[in-house]
Structures are given as C-alpha cells and as structure tokens.
Structure 1
Amino acid sequence: MTSTPSDPLPRALEAAGEPPLRPLPPVVAELLRSLGAPARLAAHLRAVHDVAVELVEWVGGRYPDLAVDRDAVLFGAATHDVGKTVHPEELSGPGSAHEAAGRDLLLEHGFAPGLARFAATHASWDGPGVGVEDLLVSTADKVWKDKRVPDLEDRLVRALAAAAGREPWEEYLALDDVLTRLGEDAAHRLAFQASFPVDR
C-alpha cells in the first residue's frame, strides 16, 4: 500500500517522539505498511517495543545466565496487537478478538509460530507454557503506560528468581525499580500514541 502526503502511518513509524522512541524492526514496519495499519496502532507498537528493549537490556545485565531470546521478545512487543488491523474497533474499545487474529495474520505472512504466538499470549500470561519471553512482552504492554499488574509481575519475579538462584523478594525490589523508572515516561508515550488517528 502506497502512502499519501497526508498519511500519518509513515510519521507514526518514523517520528522521533519525546523522549525518542526506537524504530520498529524493519520487517515489522514493512508488514504494517503492507497492511495499511492505523497510525495509532503503529505508534502503540513503537511505544511497547521501546519499553521491551529497556526490559531485555535490564534482564541481560542482571541475569547473564538466563537464556532469553531477545529478538523474539522485541518482535513480540512490536507485533503483539497486529490483529487490531483486522479488528480496528479494538483500538478504541475493549475486545480480545485481535489476539488469535494477530497470531493467524502473522502465520499467514510467513512468520514462525514461535514468533506469532506473542500476538495471542500477550494478554494471557497465566496460561500453560508461558515462558519468560511471553512475560516480558506482557509486562512491556502494561508498563508502557505505567500500569502495574501484580499477578503478572509476581510470575515474572518467580521466573527471574529461579533463574538467578536468589530470593523472590530481592528480584521483586529490582524489578520494581526498573518498572518504576520505565513508568516515568508513560505520559510522553501516551501523548505520542494519542497524536495519531485511530482510523486509517
């Protein structure tokens, strides 16, 4: 799909933001362009992806022996709501139809099931087979707007404590510090997202 000068999607994908937001992985940006994704969705995915980058860097520094697929987490954060291109009403209202639709959309576009899964699991962190990568994507999808979800954080803390061989309370304090810091920029990320239209 080609863009017009008034098309806000390229700006959502490329504008710096305040504070600056990292660009989405090129393969994701190209997918969103090809789908004619709403600019609001692209802006949201950039905000969540940006937070995910911070989280995986923190995890890599604090838990060097924990095997985390960094690229999978970043892809998952960058595509977790891609199903809202199929269900655009869920951009401005509640709904979970975008979850399975997003996974199916990614599979149809040739992405591996291990990457496509995040579109379906980002809102179901208490399900079976959920790993630390899924928990990091889900956490990024909450803390980008400074939302704290105790059950999700407890599950992530348990996984991190087990990997590190430390007490859960130690890992809770460490995670709380990083999530509090990330939450401090939530107003800027929310403003960036809100500056783009919901409709195509």
Structure 2
Amino acid sequence: MMLDFALFGLSAFMAQVLTNLDNLAALLALTMVSGAKRSIFGFLMAQAIVIGAALLLALGVEDVVPHWAGYLGVIPLSLGILALIRRRSGKEAKSNPNLETGASIIMITLLFISLSMDTFAVLAPLLADSAPNFRTAGVIGAALAAASLATVALLGSKAPFMSGALARRLERLVPYVMICAGLYILSNSWTDAV
C-alpha cells in the first residue's frame, strides 16, 4: 500500500516537473535579471497557489459531482493535443518573460501563475480522480517537484553550463505528458463504470 502512495506521489512529481519546464526556463532568465532570491521566492509562491487551487478544485468536484470527476481528464488531453497541433503548424508561442530589473515578488508570482495553467490543467484532474489519501501523496509530490525546480534554478543561476536551452528542449515533452495524464485520468476513474 505504501508503494502505491509513493508511485502516485512520483506521478504528481513528474507531472509537476514536466509541465513546469517553461517556468524553469523563465526562472533561469529571471534569476539573472531580478536576482535569484526574489525570483525563486516568487516561483515558489506561484506553485503553492497553483497546487492549492488544484487541490481545492479536486475537493470541490468530489463534493459537487463525484461521478463526473474522471471526465476532467478531457482538459489535459485536449490541451496536449492542441499544443501538438500548434507545434506542427508552427504557431507555438514562445514565452519570454519581459520584466524590468528589480521586478516585485508579486509581479514574478503573477508571471509564474500565468505560465502554470498547464500544470493546473494536469494536476487538478489528477487530484480530483484520486482517493483522499492519494491526494496527500500527490500534493507532497508536486510540492517536492516545485522545490526541486527552484533548487535547479538556484544552482543554474550560479553554474555556467546550465541554461534555458536545456529546459526548452525538455519542454517538447509537455504535450505528451498532458495527453498521457488525460488518458490516465479518463481510463482510471469513475468513467470506467459509465
């Protein structure tokens, strides 16, 4: 049983990391412009808000429409497919944070919240489609992932070999992660009984 919780936490960890690769690239750039402490604190605040909002949505869906929670998997599935279509048609937008030097923590937090909608779209259905015990493991996994990304950004701001290019290459995996998360939620949920 403990292995199940660990695997679910690992799933949430991986979903959080892979949907935040664009944030990692932005965070690496912002550490150079606005300072590492301010940028990382803003990033962590944004991730706490996104994870908390995903958990609140998961709890609300369970209370309101418990038998429909599994259909939330359509959201990350659709977003992943749309991202692949945009990439193939060359319409993929590049995210470049345009913040002046010394941007406030609130501005940095708002930037990262806006960049984290894909994380929310994956994490909320994942948490909504799981039992309360597993939600705790999922939140812990997502929080550890956010802390790990912040650590990588802190180390990357000090190491010359680390750059946003690596994060941008890994970001190509995000649509596939969203599609897999959507399929998982749809296949392993109350929708099975329908």
Pair in the same fold by TM > 0.5: no
Report which of the two has the higher share of helix: 2
Coarse TM-score class (shorter-chain normalised)? 0.3 to 0.5
Q: TM-score, normalised by structure 1?
A: 0.36
Q: TM-score, normalised by structure 2?
A: 0.36
Highest RCO, 1 vs 2 (Cα 8 Å, sep ≥ 6): 2
